[in-house]
Structure 1
Amino acid sequence: MGLRKTSVTFFDLDHTLLPIDSDYSWGVFTQDIGWTDPVAFKRRNDEFFEHYKAGTLDIHDYVRFATQAVRLRGPHEAAKAHERFMHDVIASAIRAEATQLVRAHQQAGDIVVIVTATNEFVTAPIAKALGVDELIAVQLERDASGWITGEIRGVPSAREGKVARVAQWLEARGWDWGAVESTFYSDSINDLALLEHVNTPVATNPDERLRALATERGWRILDLFEKT
């Protein structure tokens, strides 16, 4: 009898565990607190979001844009603003349905990991609030002082990059894909590469293209909550 494989459950974050896009919402929040121009920033933020949905986003350009206000404000002001963001925006977006799903996997003995194309500044506190210790997010380069530069460090965890980053995460623990029983929950066709790579793909609150593909392939479809 073979040894039981370690079960690892990966979750996308935006529109999967949250009914919102945390990256986009952080941008809106910076407008609301006066950090960014409400007209020019909103126009570019909306453009980037449409590129993301279409699968044509240049993530390096986007991260430079999305982190500019944070970089200029510095770590102390940025941390304080993020605390407000968690209170004003994220707290109400953390739904019982999502936390119950995460806890069910944790209680079953799974290692739970959030894998997101949103950067670590935005998502690290959100993962903590969801009770998830393992986070694979877009890593940000730091300067000599330790503050973010606006550039991405390493492979961005977006599209095919999610497969590469998960492989790195597995390797760091002495595992490979064959050593684990893997599940991935995602809403987006952008995550098709990782959905195809795991043992059990779950199309969660799926966009139109992913829903059609999941139906065609017989993948499980989970409508966890209504998107906003």
Structure 2
Amino acid sequence: MALAIFDLDNTLIGGDSDFLWGEFLVQNGYVNAEHFSEQNAQFYEDYKRGNLDIMAYQRFALKPLSKQSMQTLAVWHNQFMQTFIEPIVLPKALALVEEHKAKGDRVMIITATNTFVTRPIGMRYGITELLGTEGEIKNNRYTGEVAGIPTFQSGKVTRLNEWLQQEHETLEGSYFYSDSFNDLPLLEIVDNPVVVDGDDKLLAIAKEKNWPSISLR
């Protein structure tokens, strides 16, 4: 039995849930379309280049949540799952998750995207353990601020180490599947790093390090 860790965006799903949530808000008129869409696209480009200001981005992403009740957000997310996420669920990714479960591995997701967006997607894959960026909640509403350390780049390692200690788990025999060079800090500490539909930078590094590279598309 080992720990099998999955990145979410562009790994388990065929797109970026954070970016797509922004597109969902724009398409439904829940945010100022021109201003929000432009900022959303710029943050996504920053992420792909590796120079994302994670706190600035998370505050941007969490702000719309702070303007709605939890009940409204739940309705919105259900619509988002059906219209944006279901079409990019990957059968090969579902099969890989089930393969690890069948071996008795403990399966989890670690994603930089906030847990409001990602936890239901994890559940769609049958994964209940998820570490993501947490939005601060007070009086049953999001405040628009970040709670704790965002699960981005080295923050994924920090949060995972806290989880390992809490759960009395180790990384012996562990796997981590990811598409992004932003995940190098975590890829480098597991026993079995696996590149999934990797970006150009990560594919080059994987070739140097002889890491396996697969496609779930």
Q: Distance in 2 between matches of 1:38 and 1:24?
A: 14
The equivalences for 1:205-224 within 5 A come to 205-224=197-216
Matched, 1:203 2:186: no
Q: Please list the CA deviations of residues 158-179 of structure 1 after superposition, one character each: whole Å capped at 9, or x if unmatched.
A: 00010111111111112344xx
The equivalences for 1:67-216 within 5 A come to 67-143=62-138, 145-177=139-171, 180-216=172-208
Q: Distance in 2 between matches of 1:69 and 1:162?
A: 24
- Structure 1, unmatched stretches of 5+, are 1-5
TM-score by length of 1: 0.93
**How far off its partner does 1:110 sit?**
0.4
Q: Which residue of 2 aligns with 1:3?
A: none
Q: Distance in 2 between matches of 1:61 and 1:74?
A: 23
Q: Distance in 2 between matches of 1:218 and 1:176?
A: 24
- Which 4+ residue blocks in structure 1 deviate beyond 3 angstroms? none
- The residue type equivalent to 1:218 in the other structure is N
- Structure 2, unmatched stretches of 5+, are none
Q: Please list the CA deviations of residues 104-137 of structure 1 after superposition, one character each: whole Å capped at 9, or x if unmatched.
A: 0111110001000000000010000110011011
Q: Distance in 2 between matches of 1:77 and 1:67?
A: 15
Q: Which residue of 1 aligns with 2:2?
A: 7
Q: Distance in 2 between matches of 1:147 and 1:23?
A: 20
Contact persistence 2:198–2:213 (CA under 8 A)? yes
TM-score by length of 2: 0.97
Q: Distance in 2 between matches of 1:110 and 1:120?
A: 23
Partner secondary structure for residue 85 of structure 1: helix
**How far off its partner does 1:101 sit?**
0.7
Contact persistence 2:62–2:145 (CA under 8 A)? no
Aligned length: 217
RMSD between aligned residues: 1.0
Contact persistence 2:65–2:144 (CA under 8 A)? no
Identity %: 40
Matched, 1:41 2:36: yes
Q: Distance in 1 between matches of 2:170 and 2:177?
A: 20
Q: Distance in 2 between matches of 1:113 and 1:176?
A: 14
